[in-house]
């Protein structure tokens, strides 16, 4: 087991870990070496590297992570949230949400740039069908559109997850109403299905993969459902059963490897993966993950 995962498990269990102990485990980690061995000045590179590092405790103490945070704040943060283009052109709610979540995990929930991203979700992100969205100056059409008769499910889910992560680190009551709307919307879809029939709402939603990518998947949804204490709701049982049936031997294999500049899968997929197995097991058992 990689030492970065050992560190995460210890932290999740509430074990006392000194900063020197944490940094030693990070220095020994092959995954950390893989994540920090290259650099490209590219928006997507910043995003995928930062999301990956945010999943590992204490990485906010690494110089590499500081550099990524600085680039994201300087180049992608705007008064309305995080944008790939650095302005309102081609704003994508899913990327704003993923960066909000990552920054919260890195201990930056109270930064102005993060609060701006949260405020955008509260103000503009629809959490139900049939709400027209028209925001002067914003364009959502470059990658297929985010708001039609129904909002993009990826954007809704990742925005709900972002609100939960923000609330977890701040206890800000202003997000709770929108968060509850998001929870209900996901539960209405049994986390992964269309409303009209039992079939996947997106082509990648049943993928087993970690860390998250642009393609919303069942791993991040079951993790959210567990952390938000939704597993007692019967509408989560389809996703729970699906994952239980996918278990092989002692765990789960990743079956999809996202390809993008800067993205790094934590497990290789040839055998049950330590990371994805830990996340799914913890989620299904209602443990912090």
Residue 90 clears pLDDT 70, i.e. is over it: no
> Is the pLDDT assigned to residue 129 strictly greater than 70?
no
Tokens representing 81?
A: 């949230």
Q: Residue 149 burial by CB count (10 A; 0-12/13-18/19+): exposed, middle or buried?
A: exposed
The pLDDT of residue 126 is 87
In the chain, pLDDT over 70 holds for what percent of residues? 92
Q: Is residue 143 predicted with pLDDT exceeding 80?
A: no
**Closest-CA residue to 187 (of 236, 132, 138):** 236
The CA distance from 119 to 235, in Å, is: 29
Helix (H, G, I), strand (E, B) or coil at 200: strand
Q: What's the helix, strand, coil split of the chain in %, to 5?
A: 50, 5, 45
pLDDT of residue 252: 98
In this model, does residue 130 exceed pLDDT 60? no
Of 100, 52, 51, the C-alpha closest to 77 is 100
- Of 272, 263, 184, 189, the closest CA to residue 230 belongs to 184
The answer, yes or no, to whether residue 85 has pLDDT greater than 70, is yes
Residue 138's pLDDT band, with cuts at 50, 70 and 90, is: low
Q: What is the pLDDT of residue 141?
A: 54
Mean pLDDT, the chain, integer: 93
pTM: 0.94
pLDDT at residue number 92: 85
Confidence category of residue 269, pLDDT binned at 50, 70, 90: confident
Q: Are 186 and 233 in contact (CB under 8 A)?
A: no
Residue 139's pLDDT band (boundaries 50, 70, 90)?
Answer: low
Q: Evaluate if residue 136 carries a pLDDT over 60.
A: no
Which residues are within 8 A (CB) of 288 and not within 5 positions of it... i.e. 6 or more apart? 12, 227, 282
Q: Is 83 left (phi over 0), alpha (psi -120 to 50) or beta?
A: beta
240-to-132, 137, 223, 274, 288 alpha-carbon distances in Å: 33, 41, 11, 19, 17
Band (168; pLDDT cuts 50, 70, 90): very high
**86 close to 78: Cβ distance less than 8 angstroms:** yes
Residue 237 has pLDDT above 70, yes or no: yes
């Amino acid at each position: 087991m990689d030492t970065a995962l050992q560190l995460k498990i210890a932290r999740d269990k509430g074990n006392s870990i000194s900063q020197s102990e944490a940094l030693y485990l990070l220095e020994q980690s092959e995954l950390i070496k893989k994540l920090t061995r290259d650099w490209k000045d590219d928006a997507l590179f910043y995003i995928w590297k930062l999301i990956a590092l945010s999943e590992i405790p204490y990485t906010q103490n690494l110089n590499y992570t500081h550099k990524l945070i600085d680039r994201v704040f300087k180049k992608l943060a705007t008064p309305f949230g995080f944008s790939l283009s650095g302005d309102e052109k081609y704003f994508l709610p899913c990327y704003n949400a993923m960066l909000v979540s990552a920054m919260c995990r890195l201990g930056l929930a109270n930064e102005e740039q993060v609060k701006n991203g949260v405020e955008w979700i509260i103000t503009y992100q629809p959490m139900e069908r049939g709400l027209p969205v028209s925001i002067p100056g914003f364009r959502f059409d470059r990658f297929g559109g985010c708001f039609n008769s129904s909002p993009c499910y990826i954007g809704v889910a990742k925005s709900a997850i972002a609100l939960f992560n923000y609330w977890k680190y701040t206890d800000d009551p202003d997000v709770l109403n929108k968060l509850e709307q998001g929870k209900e919307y996901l539960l209405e879809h049994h986390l992964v299905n269309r409303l009209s029939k039992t079939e996947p709402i997106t082509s990648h939603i049943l993928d087993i993969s970690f860390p998250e990518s642009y393609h919303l998947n069942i791993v991040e949804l079951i993790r959210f459902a567990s952390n938000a204490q939704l597993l007692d709701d019967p509408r989560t049982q389809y996703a729970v059963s699906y994952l239980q049936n996918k278990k092989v031997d002692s765990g789960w294999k990743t079956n999809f490897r996202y390809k993008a500049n800067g993205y790094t899968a934590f497990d290789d997929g040839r055998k049950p993966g330590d990371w994805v197995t830990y996340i799914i097991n913890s989620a299904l058992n209602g443990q912090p993950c």
